Each structure stands twice: as structure tokens, then as C-alpha cells.
Amino acid sequence: MSLQLVQIIEVLGGALEQGDPAMEIQAIASLEDAGPQDFSFLSNPKLQVQMLASKAGCIAVSAQMQEQARQRGGAFVVVDNPYLYFARLTQLWRKHHAIRPVPAGIHPSAVVEEGAIVHPSASIGPLCHVARGAVIGADSVLTSRVTVGADCVLGERVLVQPGAVIGGDGFGFANERGRWIKIEQLGGVQIGDDVEIGSNTCIDRGALRDTIIANGVKIDNQVQIGHNVEIGEHSAMAGCVGIAGSAKIGRQCTIGGAGMILGHLEIADNVHISAATVVSRSIRQPGQYTGFFPIDDNGSWEKNAATLKHLHALRDRIKALEQTQKNG
């Protein structure tokens, strides 16, 4: 099945240039993979070389790139935000092609304990486990092998990918003469509406109060969220992020892959953490923050690392020289 360009534009908008509105679009594809019957998009101006070489039947571009798109010679649609247009197009494509949504109900192999509440429109997939007192909201989907612990609450339209664990015990122990004594984790997890949770991600229950994931948060695969963490609305984090207990993340923040946030820190709204950055202090102002040592050949890296060890002594020497000059 296909969609005509005119059908796409009628729903999603955009101005068609150099193209036939009746063109049949057979698929959505990347610039490199697209063929003459495919629709693609240019979201990053740095990829204009790929756009010029693309065989795509039609490409969505921003107004700033329309002259470059005209040089390619094929059809293009001028839109405000090509990446957002692509996202909307995938939704239109799924709807038009009647790709069957996940059916509501509880799979025969799933375990839903007595006292759990599952909305009739929710879907509990194969081998999932929903413990007593848990609540699964309307149109939420637990795909497969998902665990939701006791007294954890998922809002509406929450999507949880395979293997995720929501409401496992947080990492809490007290030391008694060299032995670790477990602190029972008595809180739960509260997850808002329209949240997505990736495969094998773990969200720990709170020690006393609940761990909180607000509306619209997007969490990638293999993310660890410690007990009593709070994540604000519409924040997003990529794979292998780790957030230690009791950290508070603001609204509309992003954390790049393998970023780490230490416990009990506070991150303001609209803070963006680069990949592989370790956040060791609270961040009070919005902006982009980066903190990793650039890659280098091993010999150069070892020399730079050795130099870093002596920076403190060098600083003291500079201070002493400045003081001498001042006194002299």
C-alpha cells in the first residue's frame, strides 16, 4: 500500500516543490537508502551532500535548505521542522496502513497478582509480572517479560519494552561493623502518562517515598534509575544512563548515552548533559554541559593524564609567583 504526496501534505502540511502531487510514496527511508518511490527527510544541514546524492522520490527540508534541495532536481516539501515532520509521517503511515496495534488484555503466560488493577484497554504481554497493588493505566502496554513491583503505578499510554523492571528494591544498606544491613525499601514508583521505558531498564522503588517519573518522559534501553529519583516532564535520556538515588532532574532535560548523575543532586529545567558526562554537582542554570576527557592515542592520553596529576602543584606555584610579584 502507498500514500500519494497530496494525501501526506493534506494531513501534515508543507509546500510541495518540483513534484507531482499524485506521486505514489511506497515507503519512508533514509537519504542513503531511499529509492524513487520513497519519502525521506533532511534534518541536519551537514548532511546536504547525502541529500544531493539521494535517489528519494521526495525529501522534506527546512526553508533554509530549499535552494540546495532545488539543485538536486527532484521533488521536495518545505516544512518548519523536517525531523518532526518525519515523526508525524511515521504515525500517519502506521494509521493509513492499519498496522494492528497491540491488542488489549492479559496474555495467558502473564502473571497478574490479586489486588493489582489493570485497565481493560491496557495490554499485558507474554511472561509479564504485575505484583499486588500495582496499577496499570488506560492504553498502557507492557510488551513482554516486564516486571512491575507491588504498589507501583503506571499512568495512561505508558509503553514498556521487554525486560524492564519497575519497582525492584533500591540499593540501600547500613554498615554494622563491616556487615551490610538491608534497608527495606518501603516506597513505590509513580509513572505519569505518555512515558516510554526501554528494554532492560530498571527503575527502583523508593526507600520511604516514591520514585517519580513525570508525564512524557522518554527513557532508552539499559538505564538505571535509583530509588527516590524524580524526573520532570518531557525529559529524555539515552541508553546506559545511570542516575543515583534521590537525584532530582528538571523538566525537558536530556542526558546523552552513558551519562551519569550522582545521588542527591538537583538538575534545573532545560539542562542538556552530553554523552559520557559524569555530573558530580548540582546544576542550577539551563544549558549544555559536558565533562569527559577526549579520546586520543594511548601514549598521548597517558602523558596528558600524568600532566593533570600535577596541575594542583602548578597552580600553587603560579599563586606563589603572583604573590611575589605583588609584594615586589
Instruction: Please say whether the beta carbons of 319 and 327 come within 8 A.
Output: no
Model confidence at 293: pLDDT above 90: no
- Spatial distance between the Cα atoms of 266 and 279, rounded to a whole number of angstroms: 10
Whether 310 sits among the annotated catalytic residues: the reply is: no
The pLDDT > 70 percentage for the chain reads 99
pLDDT class for 305, splitting at 50, 70, 90?
Answer: confident
The whole-number pLDDT of residue 99 equals: 66
pLDDT class for 283, splitting at 50, 70, 90?
Answer: very high
- Spatial distance between the Cα atoms of 127 and 114, rounded to a whole number of angstroms: 17
pLDDT digits (tens, 9 = 90+) for 75-99: 999 999 999 999 999 999 988 887 6
- Across the chain, mean pLDDT equals 95
Model confidence at 249: pLDDT above 80: yes
Question: Which range in 88-92, 292-296, 302-306 is most confidently predicted, on average pLDDT?
Answer: 88-92
How many other C-beta atoms are found inside a 10 Å radius of the C-beta of residue 97? 11
Instruction: Please say whether the beta carbons of 137 and 155 come within 8 A.
Output: yes
**Section 45-73 average pLDDT:** 96
Sheet containing strand 260-261, strands side by side: 111-112, 129-130, 147-148, 165-168, 202-204, 224-225, 242-243, 260-261, 278-279
The whole-number pLDDT of residue 100 equals: 64
pLDDT digits (tens, 9 = 90+) for 167-196: 999 999 999 999 999 999 999 999 999 999
Phi/psi for 14 (5° steps) reads: 105, 155
**Section 158-173 average pLDDT:** 98
More confident residue, 120 or 327: 120
pLDDT digits (tens, 9 = 90+) for 209-238: 999 999 999 999 999 999 999 999 999 999
The whole-number pLDDT of residue 294 equals: 81
- Spatial distance between the Cα atoms of 199 and 124, rounded to a whole number of angstroms: 15
Model confidence at 15: pLDDT above 80: yes
The whole-number pLDDT of residue 14 equals: 97
Which of 129, 227, 272, 312 does the annotation list as catalytic?
Answer: 227
- Spatial distance between the Cα atoms of 266 and 232, rounded to a whole number of angstroms: 11
**Section 128-146 average pLDDT:** 98
**Section 62-80 average pLDDT:** 96
The whole-number pLDDT of residue 327 equals: 81
Secondary structure string (H, E, C) spanning the chain: CCEEHHHHHHHHCCEEECCCCCCEECEECCCCCCCCCEEEECCCHHHHHHHHHCCCCEEEECHHHHHHHHHHCCEEEECCCHHHHHHHHHHHHHHHCCCCCCCCEECCCCEECCCCEECCCCEECCCCEECCCCEECCCCEECCCCEECCCCEECCCCEECCCCEEEECCCCEEEECCEEEECCCCCCEEECCCCEECCCCEEECCCCCCEEECCCCEECCCCEECCCCEECCCCEECCCCEECCCCEECCCCEECCCCEECCCCEECCCEEECCCCEECCCECCCEEECCCCCCCCHHHHHHHHHHHHCHHHHHHHHHHHHHHHHHC
Q: Phi/psi class of residue 129: alpha, beta or left (left: φ > 0; alpha: ψ in -120 to 50)?
A: beta
Sheet containing strand 123-124, strands side by side: 105-106, 123-124, 141-142, 159-160, 196-197, 218-219, 236-237, 254-255, 271-273, 287-289
**Section 23-35 average pLDDT:** 96
Instruction: Please say whether the beta carbons of 264 and 247 come within 8 A.
Output: yes
**Section 279-285 average pLDDT:** 98
CB burial of residue 65 (10 Å; 0-12, 13-18, 19+)? buried
**Count of residues making up the chain:** 328
**Section 248-271 average pLDDT:** 98
Model pTM score: 0.89
